[in-house]
């Protein structure tokens, strides 16, 4: 299923049904009174946060969503049937913006949360309603009121406890596949991950939590370079970031990238996108330590980061070394 995190929709609530103009016609009663019923109310457009929906793809192909109109009133004081509400299921974490003024209408971060986006119009009154002592034969009725309508931007921000960040090919997809049941695409070329992946991690201690594998960031991501700018927003809801550092990284000119420099480059992108992101709690994970000849090199890198008061550990997703320690570090932050 293709991951789509933005879409524009137009919604129309149902119109209220018109009130009925009717008079009784009964044998031996020459002057029957009014008996026109009221119109039914129009259906409303209601949003619900559904944890089983994960993309806004459907809204790209169906931009117009309309609730049912109310039925008109009838004689014999019969009211029209109310229009059915239209229930729109959206992924957990969807923000809804009014396109007319760009204001945030709602943020669906709670499962099963309901929001009335456009209320249905009220049904009109039939002529029975207007009967009085001074107006025994009312001719007047009301038309139904129009339902609400508008155009809205849907923007999905994933709801996850932990965000995995780092340069392309740092090992984020492999890591999430080892610590959860997620099975992202994994290959040995940059930008393997083209969409965020979610996985549920169940540590030995503490409650389960959700980890998001965010597509690789590169310098200039906040300005639109690479794929990162599209997905930086998905780390905004996370409580803690796990920053994977691949010690074997090389620049485009073939020169090795210093792991500490790589750490600061990614954090500069986070800070440029949103001031508080670089201040979010981070765990640095020195990845791919199975490529080292011995443990001394991994320890040297750990000492460098710890010397900067940066919480860190060393892991190998290939062998599983250090993964238990990393998961417990995540769980400690979540709890």
Q: Specify the pLDDT at position 29.
A: 62
Q: What is the pLDDT of residues 53-104, one digit of tens each?
A: 877 888 888 999 999 999 999 988 899 999 999 999 998 888 999 998 989 9
| pLDDT at residue 188 greater than cutoff 70 | no
- My answer on whether 142 and 243 are in the same domain is no
Confirm if 226 and 168 have CB atoms less than 8 A apart: yes
End-to-end CA distance of the chain: 32
- Give yes or no: residues 182 and 84 share one domain: no
Residues 120 and 93 in one domain: yes
Q: How many domains does the chain divide into?
A: 2
- Asked if the structure places residue 1 within a domain, the reply is no
244 HSE (CA, 13 A, CB side): 31
Q: Indicate whether 49 and 169 sit together in one domain.
A: no
Q: Which residue has the higher pLDDT, 263 or 236?
A: 263
**Residue 191 confidence (pLDDT):** 43
135 and 166 fall within a common domain:
no
Do 210 and 319 have their domain in common? yes
Q: For 255-266, give the DSSP string.
A: PBPPHHHHHHHH
Tens of pLDDT, residue by residue over 129-148, are 998 888 888 889 999 999 99
- At 225 the pLDDT is 46
Top-confidence residue, 217 or 185: 217
Let me know if residue 278 belongs to a domain. Answer: yes
Same domain (yes/no): 107, 247: no
Helix (H) or strand (E) holding 198: strand 197-201
Residue 286 sits in which domain range? Answer: 162-334
Which residue reads 């949003």 in tokens?
Answer: 47
Confidence of residue 158 (pLDDT cuts 50, 70, 90): confident
Q: What is the mean pLDDT of residues 99-120?
A: 91
Same domain, 151 and 176: no
Query: Where is the domain boundary, 122, 156, 190?
Result: 156
Residue ending a domain, choose from 133, 156, 179: 156
Residue 228: per-residue pLDDT = 47
Q: At 134, which CATH number?
A: 2.70.210.12
Considering the domain architecture, whether residues 11 and 147 belong to the same structural domain is answered as: yes
Of 104, 132, 156, the one marking the end of a domain is 156
Question: Domain of 265: which CATH number?
Answer: 3.40.50.300
| pLDDT computed for residue 166 by the predictor | 83
Residue 279 to residues 99, 231, 276, 306, Cα–Cα distance (Å): 31, 18, 5, 17
> Is 206 inside a domain boundary?
yes
More confident residue, 195 or 112: 112
Residue 66 lies in a domain: yes
Residue 105 lies in a domain: yes
pLDDT, position 149: 94
How far, in Å, are 116, 160, 165, 245, 318 from residue 199 at the CA level?
Answer: 31, 9, 14, 20, 18
182 has pLDDT over 50: yes
Question: Considering only CA atoms, which of 77, 67, 8 is closest in space to residue 38?
Answer: 77
Output the pLDDT for position 187.
Answer: 42
Same domain, 112 and 176: no
Is there a single domain that holds both residue 195 and residue 306?
yes
**Residue 52 forms part of a structural domain:** yes
Q: Are residues 115 and 211 in the same domain?
A: no
> Is residue 180 in some structural domain?
yes
Residue 43 has, within 13 A of its CA and on its CB side, a CA count of 18
Name the average pLDDT for the chain. 83
pLDDT of 189 reads 40
pLDDT digits (tens, 9 = 90+) for 25-40: 777 665 678 889 999 9
Strand order, beta sheet including 282-286: 197-201, 209-213, 162-165, 240-245, 282-286, 312-314
């Amino acid at each position: 299923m293709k991951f789509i995190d933005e879409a524009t929709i137009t919604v129309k609530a149902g119109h209220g049904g018109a009130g009925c103009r009717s008079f009784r016609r009964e044998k031996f009663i020459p002057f029957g009174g009014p008996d026109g019923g009221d119109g039914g109310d129009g259906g409303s457009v209601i949003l619900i946060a559904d944890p089983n929906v994960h993309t806004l793809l459907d809204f790209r192909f169906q931009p117009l969503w309309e609730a049912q109109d109310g039925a008109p009133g009838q004689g014999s004081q019969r009211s029209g049937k109310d229009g059915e509400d239209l229930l729109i299921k959206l992924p957990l974490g969807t923000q809804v913006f009014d396109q007319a003024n760009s204001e945030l209408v709602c943020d669906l971060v709670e499962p099963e949360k309901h929001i009335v986006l456009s209320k249905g119009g009220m049904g009109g009154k039939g002529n029975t309603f207007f009967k009085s002592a001074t107006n025994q034969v009312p001719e007047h009725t009301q038309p139904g009121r129009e339902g609400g309508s508008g155009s809205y931007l849907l923007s999905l921000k994933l709801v996850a406890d932990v965000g995995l960040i780092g340069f392309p090919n740092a090992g984020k997809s492999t890591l999430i596949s080892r610590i959860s049941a997620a099975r992202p695409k994994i290959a040995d070329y940059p930008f393997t991950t083209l969409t965020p992946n979610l996985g549920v991690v169940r540590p030995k201690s503490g409650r389960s939590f959700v980890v998001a594998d965010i597509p690789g960031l590169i310098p200039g991501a906040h300005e639109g370079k690479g794929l990162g700018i599209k997905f930086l927003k998905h780390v905004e809801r996370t409580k803690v970031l796990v920053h994977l550092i691949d010690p074997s990284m090389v620049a485009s000119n073939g020169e090795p990238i210093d792991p500490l420099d790589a750490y600061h480059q990614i954090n500069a992108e986070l800070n440029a996108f949103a001031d508080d992101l670089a201040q979010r709690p981070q765990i640095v994970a020195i990845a791919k330590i199975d490529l080292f000849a011995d443990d001394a090199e991994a320890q040297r890198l750990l000492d460098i980061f710890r010397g900067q008061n940066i919480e860190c550990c060393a892991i190998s997703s290939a062998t599983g070394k250090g993964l238990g320690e990393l998961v417990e570090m995540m769980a400690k932050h979540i709890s």
